[in-house]
Amino acid sequence: MVTVDGDSIRALAYPALVGSPQIGDRVLLNVGALEAGLGTGGYALVVAIPDRLPADVDTPGHIVKSRYTPTQVMVASADEQGSAHHELLRSADSLDQMPVVVADLHSALPAVLAGIQGSYRTDRGSGPRVAYVMTDGGALPAWFSRTVAGLRAAGWLAATITTGQSFGGDLEAVTVHSGLLTARHVVRADIAIVAQGPGNLGTGTRWGFSGVAAGEAVNAAAALDGRPVASLRLSFADPRDRHQGVSHHSLTAYGRVALAPADVVLPALPEPQATRVATDAAVLAARHRLVTVSLDGLEEALRSCPVTLSTMGRSVAQDLEYFLAAAAAGRHAVSLLGWEASGLGSLGVRKPRG
């Protein structure tokens, strides 16, 4: 807690950037988004502890992220010269058909993983090895995500790879492309999940939202000989018309931005939701494969998740279909590996026309 003009507010400090605040310290705060009442970025953030600056540290890497801002950071990227992985990644050019699940929101990450955990054959022993490739559309520091920390602690995630301007993952990469190659060849992942960090920027327009990058991630996965799996953002609880049924975010990202074909996963919901989703998603069949996936056992898998599930402030009970759609995408990724339990794979595939 920080006292400002006699009022107490919560403030967030990243010790790796500014040091560890102590009681009695003066701190320089950024409160612009907080005062504006925003969700994304709406925190008081500690910019500096001016009377007690952190000690200088030797930076192991030569890659700058959050570039040309006062808090730019130096990181050691997996793909940079001098990295132990540089020679491996210098020649890496294929994901070897690794399934890559792409989602719009960070809140889909644990649900996709729940779908993976609830779908593989237990006679294989441990489940698929999964890496999270974090893009820079939301929070830049991976440290902000309590979800990622909880999933790593539970063993559901093998590693987080921060790409673009995002930083603070187990591994760093310059682009989504090199992040995916790092997931496959350094982490040895069986499945990768690509999504932005916590937070989502949107203006209510067709093109002005950070989830546009989901379509670009489909292209990246396809360019590298991966198998893109598109997780739909859908809801029957969101009060905004543009996010009812299949969100316009998914229709734009996968229908207009994604130029390579992907498996677009339709959860096998009860009626009338199933018809609404199929009708909304039909426009995507011109380029993509529409795959209907069984939901048997997925609600239970979601409820066993080691971290809290929440999207736009709504819980599993309040927006179940959203989380089931993401979990179904995880289940389909397992089926592409041939690891799925009997009866839990895809129910049908609609091929693209032409």
Tell whether 15 and 154 lie within a shared domain. no
Most confident of 34-38, 213-217, 242-246, 314-318: 213-217
- pTM for the whole structure: 0.92
Tell whether 197 and 302 lie within a shared domain. yes
Tell whether 14 and 101 lie within a shared domain. no
Confidence of residue 198 (pLDDT cuts 50, 70, 90): very high
Query: What total number of domains does the chain contain?
Result: 2
Tell whether 19 and 103 lie within a shared domain. no
Tell whether 129 and 18 lie within a shared domain. no
Q: Has residue 101 been placed in a domain?
A: yes
Q: Has residue 73 been placed in a domain?
A: no
Tell whether 127 and 40 lie within a shared domain. no
**Short-list 60, 4, 68, CA closest to 31:** 4
Q: What is the Cα 342 distance to its own chain's centre?
A: 28
Tell whether 201 and 312 lie within a shared domain. yes
Domain containing residue 14: 2-48
Tell whether 252 and 341 lie within a shared domain. yes
What are the phi and psi torsion angles at 110 (to 5°)? Answer: -65, -30
Q: What is the pLDDT of residue 209?
A: 86
Tell whether 205 and 124 lie within a shared domain. yes
Q: Has residue 76 been placed in a domain?
A: no
Tell whether 102 and 41 lie within a shared domain. no
The answer on pLDDT for 244 being more than 70 is: yes
Q: Has residue 77 been placed in a domain?
A: no
Tell whether 113 and 7 lie within a shared domain. no
Q: Has residue 314 been placed in a domain?
A: yes
Question: What are the CA-CA distances from residue 111 to residues 78, 81, 300 (Å)?
Answer: 27, 36, 11
Tell whether 198 and 284 lie within a shared domain. yes
Q: What is the pLDDT of residue 240?
A: 81
The answer on pLDDT for 133 being more than 70 is: yes
Distance between CA atoms of residues 233 and 20, nearest Å? 38
Q: Has residue 196 been placed in a domain?
A: yes
pLDDT tens by residue, 146-183: 999 999 999 999 999 999 999 999 999 999 999 999 99
Question: What are the CA-CA distances from residue 270 to residues 67, 161, 238, 277, 278 (Å)?
Answer: 48, 36, 18, 11, 12
Mean pLDDT of 49-69: 88
Mean pLDDT of 265-292: 97
Q: Has residue 135 been placed in a domain?
A: yes
